[in-house]
Structure 1
Amino acid sequence: MSHTRAGDGPERSGMVRGLGLVATTALVVGNMIGSGIYVIPSSLAETAGPLGLVAWAINAAGYLCLTAVFADLGGAYPVSGGLQAFARRAFGDLVGLEVGFLYWLCAVIGNAAFLTAFVGYLAVLWPAAGDPLVAFAVSQALLWALTLTNAVGVRAGGAIQVVTTICKLTPLVLLSVALWPLASLEHVQPFAPRGWGSLLPAVSLVSWLFVGMESVTVPAEEIRGAGRTIRRSVYIGFSLTCAVYLLVLGSLSLAVPADLLAKSASPLADVAAHHFGPTAATLVTIGALVSVAGILNGWVLVTSRMAHATARDGLAPRALAVLHPRFGTPTRALVLTALLSGALVGLYFSGTTLEIYNFIALLSTATALVAVGAACAAQMVLMRREPDRFTPAQRRRGPWTAAIGLAVVVLMIAGSGADIVALTAGCVLLPLPYWFLVLRPAAAAPR
């Protein structure tokens, strides 16, 4: 089975293959476990109560199918751009443009959510960070520090991802284990306090915790042994992440009443303080800050690489495809995405941290899910068109996992609410003027 063709490999990019299995697994785990697990338990408790555990199970099952989709596609087409490259190969330039733009937009919006969560937890240790001006300044400093790190080289960004992933998992596991002796079935009664109709919104909310597994396909040309490494890291990272989520959400649901979690911008720190005192709260808060910094680092890398790959394929301004002559990194794409994410943090001034975080998380998730759904459809097409790219087992399994994954994507988007669906539809329309006014005339011009 061949996994490379002319025009697919590293000769197109000039990038440095600085990421191995450990770093790519850390990228998967780090881009999934970030601010969400430290903030979503509060939103989930308010939205659905203990029924949120069912929402978690639905997401885990659905994303297992999506994990198979991206393991197969990433192994068959180890080319930078990931989702955009798959969609373009299956459906052409317009769909490639849409997917590249939507996933890039998801990451730009998501980075603003991570920054908002960071200052929310920082305020636990440093109350002055609760002031909007201070919060804005701190968030900008963190964003640009990580942007500079990623500009220096992919190895530096990968090293930070490994360290922060290890550091972020430790307090989550310790807190969860400490809560288990306090577990009581009384805390999950009533199981569905807001009715079973709250399940669909809860599914959409929890899906924010799982977005990121597919991101490892984006910097494919910076990964050593890309096809095989991507397949392995996707499965290992997803399994590890699910285990951590089950441990954390299960312990919280059984050991903490839902009304204690609801409406808190830093629920895990509040739980630690309530049961184990201020020292425990401080340790959890530090873990949260490291976790958010880690996921932001991973998404800064992914966001810039998606913009670079889309531009390199002629679907975005060519300036974004330019690499730094010394470091081999897309510095212009890094600067652009940092500027936009930093500007979005201005939303912090318009509401409470939790309200803004929830809105940004849902919008970012919905735009990502459209791109993920397109990748599922692309797999169905590519398996029929280019069967030699896939093993017989993948060809038997692929149509089922892609179809289930696509159905899960539709379910998650539908549960995000009419406002988010409308905004997502608007986001889909945004690239069309560029397509009709720039790309199509350029393609039709005589050469």
Structure 2
Amino acid sequence: MSSTPPHASAVPDELDRRLGVPDAVLIGLGSMIGAGIFASLAPAARAAGSGLLIGLAVAALVAYCNATSSARLAALYPASGGTYVYGRERLGEFWGYLAGWSFVVGKTASCAAMALTVGTYVWPGQAHAVAVAAVVALTAVNYAGVQKSALLTRVIVALVLAVLAAVVVASLTSGSVDAARLDVGSDATFGGVLQAAGLLFFAFAGYARIATLGEEVRDPDRTIPRAVPVALGITLVVYAAVAVSVLLVLGPSGLAAAGAPLTEAARAAGADWLVPVVRAGAALAALGSLLALILGVSRTTLAMARDHHLPHALASVHPRFKVPHRAELVIGAVVATAAATTDVRGAIGFSSFGVLAYYAVANASALTLTPAEGRPARIVPVVGLAGCIVLAFALPLSSVTTGAAVLAVGAGAYGVRRVYARRT
């Protein structure tokens, strides 16, 4: 197997390397500390009950393994495309293609979900219209250049962190705190904890954005391995603080029944003034996630188009802005259409299965690394691979069947293309 990325070194149009460690960390934070923390706690509590924090720990463990595997691979293959590139170089063309297919299709659905989250919080009566407007605006930001995207992400992350900190402080200093509500695991089941972990993992998955920007970071063999664990560690601390504070004021049953858990926590803590701030923070968080998602999906589309797995016209890089402008426009159009016509719940379930399939390929790829190539301790990709498979199949049955069907469609399309290529 090759230890250098021949496909990446032979491309005629390369992207500018503008991003350092702080920008890469912020892009990862903008992806992870997004709408997931506002939306995933309640369904996770319904699945796990008082085992919510155990589910969070399991999700964090799998995310750490995935982050470590992805960082080592990204340092070795610093090209746009992430696991699409790693799978292709380490496991073979089909597995790279399947990872890319899982990422592009699954994350396109996630983009639609994030856009609809923006619409729901900003203007519930016109959620679809606001969602489409958000997609158009953020596609324009990405089109104008990745550095502008990093700047906007920095602002959004700071505001969202301030909102989350306000919720934590208001909850922990209120008279509604009851330590007995943290009776972890008293009503939890094994299957429920795994399903909660799968749902919460969705909120951790943003560190892939750092890897898919491998062609746009300075000194990627040092920048990416540093940025990934820092972004993941900060996110875990934030999530744990929010989960504990919300559980202390609502309890597992109250959290499970909450439509907007952080808003309900603010009300239960007697901080009604904080409710509109939380609503605004949720909209900003969804915008931050949508911004980074469009960025990552377009880069994987670029890599797949370079290898003719998608129309080669999408591999074009803008001569002035140095971004994959055609890929960004096509992804923006698809996401806008989906945001105008789909339901957010179905989009999230489908995306969760796809993202776990994507990381399963990343861990399998990391298992093939040699010590000279910076292979992590073997237990890391083994746990990551097993964790991705288990969590994927612990998701609700509808998500599993839909996700598996779409992966099968992608595999079939790959087979048809290979047969056609041989005959011509």
TM-score range, shorter chain: over 0.9
- Check 1:442–1:142 CA distance in 2 against 1; reply closer, same or farther (3 A cut): same
**1:20-57 C-alpha deviation (Å, 9 max, x unpaired):** 21111011111111111011122223222221111001
- How do 1:272-421 and structure 2 match up within 5 A? 272-346=266-340, 356-357=344-345, 359-381=346-368, 383-384=369-370, 387-390=371-374, 395=375, 397-421=376-400
Amino acid at match of 1:335: L
Counterpart of 2:140 (choices 114, 139, 148) is 148
* C-alpha contact (below 8 Å) 1:10/1:221 kept by paired residues: no
* C-alpha contact (below 8 Å) 1:16/1:154 kept by paired residues: no
Once the two structures are TM-superposed, the CA of residue 154 in structure 1 deviates from its matched residue by 1.0
Amino acid at match of 2:277: L
**1:147-181 C-alpha deviation (Å, 9 max, x unpaired):** 01100111111111122111111111221122123
Aligned equivalents of 1:196, 1:4: Cα separation in 2:
42
Counterpart position of 1:48 = 48
Aligned equivalents of 1:155, 1:207: Cα separation in 2:
28
Counterpart of 2:124 (choices 114, 117, 130) is 130
Structure 1 window deviating more from structure 2 (429-438 vs 401-410): it is 429-438
Report how many aligned residue pairs link the two structures.
Answer: 421
Matched position secondary structure for 1:224: coil
**1:198-230 C-alpha deviation (Å, 9 max, x unpaired):** 222212211112112222111211111112111
- Does the alignment pair 1:234 with 2:228? yes
Counterpart position of 2:118 = 118
**1:315-356 C-alpha deviation (Å, 9 max, x unpaired):** 2110111122221211221122122222222455x6xxxxx4
Counterpart position of 1:30 = 30
Aligned equivalents of 2:222, 2:184: Cα separation in 1:
46
Unaligned runs of 5+ in 2: none
- Check 1:9–1:27 CA distance in 2 against 1; reply closer, same or farther (3 A cut): farther
Counterpart of 1:438 (choices 404, 417, 424) is 417
Structure 1 window deviating more from structure 2 (64-73 vs 240-249): it is 64-73
Amino acid at match of 1:205: L
Once the two structures are TM-superposed, the CA of residue 185 in structure 1 deviates from its matched residue by 2.3
**1:229-269 C-alpha deviation (Å, 9 max, x unpaired):** 11100011011001101110011112223343334442212
Counterpart position of 1:212 = 206
Amino acid at match of 2:361: A
Unaligned runs of 5+ in 1: 123-128, 351-355
- Check 1:197–1:231 CA distance in 2 against 1; reply closer, same or farther (3 A cut): closer
- Does the alignment pair 1:253 with 2:232? no
**1:36-81 C-alpha deviation (Å, 9 max, x unpaired):** 1011122223222221111001111222222211121111221111
Percent of paired sites with the same residue: 25
Counterpart position of 1:19 = 19
Once the two structures are TM-superposed, the CA of residue 436 in structure 1 deviates from its matched residue by 3.1
Structure 1 window deviating more from structure 2 (215-224 vs 434-443): it is 434-443
Once the two structures are TM-superposed, the CA of residue 3 in structure 1 deviates from its matched residue by 8.3
Counterpart position of 1:72 = 72
Counterpart of 1:159 (choices 151, 156, 163) is 151
Once the two structures are TM-superposed, the CA of residue 194 in structure 1 deviates from its matched residue by 6.0
- Check 1:180–1:38 CA distance in 2 against 1; reply closer, same or farther (3 A cut): same
* C-alpha contact (below 8 Å) 2:170/2:266 kept by paired residues: no
Once the two structures are TM-superposed, the CA of residue 297 in structure 1 deviates from its matched residue by 0.5
Counterpart position of 1:174 = 166
Structure 1 window deviating more from structure 2 (187-196 vs 329-338): it is 187-196
Aligned equivalents of 1:323, 1:187: Cα separation in 2:
53
- Check 1:342–1:263 CA distance in 2 against 1; reply closer, same or farther (3 A cut): farther
Matched position secondary structure for 1:14: coil
Structure 1 window deviating more from structure 2 (242-251 vs 11-20): it is 11-20
Once the two structures are TM-superposed, the CA of residue 9 in structure 1 deviates from its matched residue by 4.3
- Check 1:441–1:179 CA distance in 2 against 1; reply closer, same or farther (3 A cut): same
Matched position secondary structure for 2:180: helix
* C-alpha contact (below 8 Å) 1:71/1:230 kept by paired residues: yes
Counterpart position of 1:126 = none
**1:96-122 C-alpha deviation (Å, 9 max, x unpaired):** 211111111121011111122222322
Counterpart position of 2:217 = 223
Amino acid at match of 1:94: F
Once the two structures are TM-superposed, the CA of residue 146 in structure 1 deviates from its matched residue by 0.1
Amino acid at match of 1:24: A
- Does the alignment pair 1:269 with 2:248? no
Matched position secondary structure for 1:326: coil
TM-score (norm 1): 0.88
Cα RMSD between the aligned structures? 2.2
Once the two structures are TM-superposed, the CA of residue 398 in structure 1 deviates from its matched residue by 3.5
Aligned equivalents of 2:317, 2:418: Cα separation in 1:
22
- Check 1:388–1:293 CA distance in 2 against 1; reply closer, same or farther (3 A cut): same
**1:267-300 C-alpha deviation (Å, 9 max, x unpaired):** 2123213423432111122222111111110111
- Check 1:432–1:407 CA distance in 2 against 1; reply closer, same or farther (3 A cut): closer
Amino acid at match of 1:170: A
* C-alpha contact (below 8 Å) 1:211/1:365 kept by paired residues: no
* C-alpha contact (below 8 Å) 2:298/2:327 kept by paired residues: yes
- Check 1:196–1:398 CA distance in 2 against 1; reply closer, same or farther (3 A cut): closer
Aligned equivalents of 1:428, 1:60: Cα separation in 2:
25
- Check 1:57–1:433 CA distance in 2 against 1; reply closer, same or farther (3 A cut): closer
Aligned equivalents of 2:283, 2:394: Cα separation in 1:
29
Structure 1 window deviating more from structure 2 (338-347 vs 307-316): it is 338-347
Counterpart position of 1:426 = 405
Counterpart position of 1:94 = 94
